[in-house]
Amino acid sequence: TRVPALRFPTAADGSKYVAREIDKLVRARNAAGKPTVLGLATGSTPVGLYRELIRLHKEEGLDLSRVVTFNLDEYLPMPKEDAHSYFRWMHETFFNHVNIPWGNIHVPDGTLAAEDVDRFCADYEKRIRAAGGIDIQILGIGRTGHIGFNEPGSPRNSRTRMVTLDGITRRDAAPGFFGEENVPAQAITMGVASILDARRLFLMAYGEHKAGVVFKALEQPPTEAVSASFLQEHPDATVVLDDAAAAEL
Ligand code: GLP
């Protein structure tokens, strides 16, 4: 099946569209006294989305006190307070500016000892299920076609687990780490199957450097070589692009 791709003139317009969809769901759930479960992503792509959600919270009364969040991934090893941790980034970029209760926030733990990782990952899956499953999952896409840190070769049925990062991914992250040798070799990520379990998916991609991988993800048959291509097998996935990222479609 074809994943619907929505094209916007700018990244800000695309991000506002996704923010509005989240706003609508959260308000409907709040009115029913029910929680909303969001799957969240890091990277430069979702920054505009978080900015808009903060604005909706501060200026338009969007109450996030019933929201439960699960982040896709975290580097391993990675102390929570480290300048590069996704835990810290999520707090600085989003959580510190809205009213999601502390206890509702879940980010994979980058401080685990090797022998504790499997148990943590199984527990992360259980927590997602116990929360009722993810209502809306936000995704970016890496140059290797990864969603979360599901690098090429990640099986369609993969679950939350420890992974080894692709060389391209580490190179792309290097400028933020003062060099590739400082980028952690591993990460914990939700799996392809964990992501596809979400009821609704929004994958955002902005900029001409994403055009090639967006083409591969949307217009070639689903393959482990491009984990984002499995969105084609999801009944309610939407790809949100700016004109530059849509250039090869
Ligand atoms: C990292 C993150 C991904 C993200 C990707 C793209 O690898 N783990 O979740 O989608 O980078 O990053 P950016 O949005 O900065 O292009």
Average pLDDT, the chain: 97
User: What order of strands is seen across the sheet that includes strand 136-139?
Assistant: 5-8, 237-242, 200-205, 136-139, 36-40, 67-71, 105-106
CA atoms within 13 A on the CB side of 92: 12
This prediction has a pTM of 0.97
pLDDT score, position 2: 85
φ, ψ dihedrals at 221, nearest 5°: -60, 150
Question: In the structure encoding, which two tokens stand for residue 92, read together?
Answer: 């600085």
Angle value at C-alpha 201, between 195 and 205, nearest 5 degrees:
105
Statement: residue 179 has pLDDT above 70: yes
Cα(42) to ligand 1 centroid in Å equals: 6
Cα(207) to ligand 1 centroid in Å equals: 13
pLDDT score, position 107: 98
Residue ranges and CATH numbers for the domains of the chain are 5-242 (3.40.50.1360)
Statement: residue 71 has pLDDT above 80: yes
Cα(61) to ligand 1 centroid in Å equals: 30
Take atom 9 of ligand 1 and give the residue whose Cα is closest.
148
Over residues 119-171, the pLDDT tens digits come to 999 999 999 999 999 999 999 999 899 999 999 999 999 999 999 999 999 99
Q: Which atom of ligand 1 is nearest to the CA of 42?
A: 9
Active site residues: 151
Cα(113) to ligand 1 centroid in Å equals: 25
Residue 7's region, left for phi above 0, alpha for psi from -120 to 50, else beta, is: beta
Over residues 25-41, the pLDDT tens digits come to 999 999 999 999 999 99
Residue keyed to tokens 């060099």: 179
What is the C-alpha to C-alpha distance for residues 34 and 129, in angstroms, rounded to an integer? 16
Q: Which atom of ligand 1 is nearest to the CA of 207?
A: 16
Q: Which residues line ligand 1 (CB under 6 A)?
A: 41-45, 72-73, 140-142, 148-149, 169
pLDDT score, position 1: 56
